[in-house]
């Protein structure tokens, strides 16, 4: 089974997981990325089972609307019952690295608002220690060099993701070779650097449920 087939399995399993929780008032939070795109395509089959979606990126909003799904502004949406999104890495505590698709800030906002965060991955994303995937950090453009110097002090090797502008008009630095022994602490520390908008560690608010697809089938994990 290739990685795309595993992503499809995870997306299908997320639909099965959330289906019993939906009613005509439910707002579904929707993430960003190739796994989430497969989820969106399945969610379209459930139109009428839920009220509307809130979205973590312009790309996901466009895909949802193309399926005829109503997408609300988060400020006027009311409670978000469930948020479904992929990840670049997850550990056994369901602490994540996200932001490979540069949508980390809006993803973190929707995750913060959601009552339940269901993360969907194939098993290649499971790691013992976060950080093999370079940590994305969204920065205000004029602060890029300052933030990069501060990230070097934390032991990382920052690389500017050239040509990428986030949906918020900012830039991305990918931080290689970080030793992430305490993800919640590092998440908070990076957020203290002036000019950082958000970083891709989702540790202080990790996933509540992790749906992992492998060649052996789909497992649903809770934080250890």
Binding site for ligand 5RP (CB under 6 A): 31-36, 85-88, 98-104, 107
- Grouping H, G, I as helix, E, B as strand and the rest as coil, residue 106 is helix
Cβ 115 to ligand 5RP shortest distance, Å: 19
Q: Which is nearer to ligand 5RP, 98 or 144 (CB)?
A: 98
Q: Which is nearer to ligand 5RP, 135 or 186 (CB)?
A: 135
Point out the catalytic residue in the list 107, 150, 171, 187.
Answer: 107
Q: Which two tokens stand for residue 53?
A: 């979606």
Q: Which is nearer to ligand 5RP, 36 or 95 (CB)?
A: 36
Cβ 105 to ligand 5RP shortest distance, Å: 9
Q: Active site includes 107?
A: yes
Cβ 48 to ligand 5RP shortest distance, Å: 26
Q: Which is nearer to ligand 5RP, 35 or 55 (CB)?
A: 35
Q: Which two tokens stand for residue 105?
A: 């800030």
Q: Which is nearer to ligand 5RP, 2 or 78 (CB)?
A: 2
Q: Name 50's Cβ contacts closer than 8 Å, sequence gap at least 6.
A: 22, 23, 24, 26, 27, 28
Q: Which of 49, 48, 52, 57 is nearest to 28 (CA)?
A: 52
For 78, left (φ over 0), alpha (ψ -120 to 50), or beta? Answer: left
Neighbour count for residue 46 (Cβ, 10 Å): 14
**Residue-wise DSSP of 109-172:** HHHHH-SEEEEEEEGGGB-SSTTSSPEEEEE-GGGHHHHHHHHHHTT-EEEE-TT---TTS-EE
Cβ 145 to ligand 5RP shortest distance, Å: 23
Q: Name the burial class of residue 42, with classes exposed (0-12), middle (13-18) and buried (19+) by CB atoms within 10 angstroms of its CB.
A: middle
Tell me the CB-side half-sphere exposure of residue 122, using CA atoms within 13 A.
17
Cβ 136 to ligand 5RP shortest distance, Å: 7
Query: Known catalytic residues?
Result: 107
């Amino acid at each position: 089974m290739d990685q795309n087939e595993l992503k499809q399995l995870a997306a299908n399993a997320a639909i099965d997981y959330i289906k019993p929780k939906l009613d005509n008032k439910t707002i579904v939070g929707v993430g960003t990325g190739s796994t989430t795109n497969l989820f969106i395509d399945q969610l379209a089959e459930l139109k009428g089972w839920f009220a509307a979606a809130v979205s973590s990126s312009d790309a996901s909003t466009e895909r949802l609307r193309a399926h005829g799904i109503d997408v609300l502004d988060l400020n006027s949406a009311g409670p978000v019952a469930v948020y479904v999104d992929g990840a670049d890495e997850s550990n056994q505590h369901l602490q994540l690295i996200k932001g490979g698709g540069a949508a980390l800030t809006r993803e973190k906002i929707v995750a913060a608002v959601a009552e339940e965060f269901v993360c969907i991955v194939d098993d290649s994303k499971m790691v013992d220690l976060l950080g093999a995937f370079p940590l994305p950090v969204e920065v205000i453009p004029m602060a890029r060099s300052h933030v990069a110097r501060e990230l070097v002090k934390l032991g990382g090797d920052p690389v500017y993701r050239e040509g990428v502008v986030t949906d918020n008009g900012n830039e991305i630095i990918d931080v290689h070779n970080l030793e992430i022994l305490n993800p919640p602490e590092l998440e908070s520390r990076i957020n203290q650097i002036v000019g950082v908008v958000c970083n891709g560690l989702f540790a202080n608010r990790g996933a509540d449920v992790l749906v992992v697809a492998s060649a052996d089938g789909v497992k649903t994990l809770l934080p250890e």
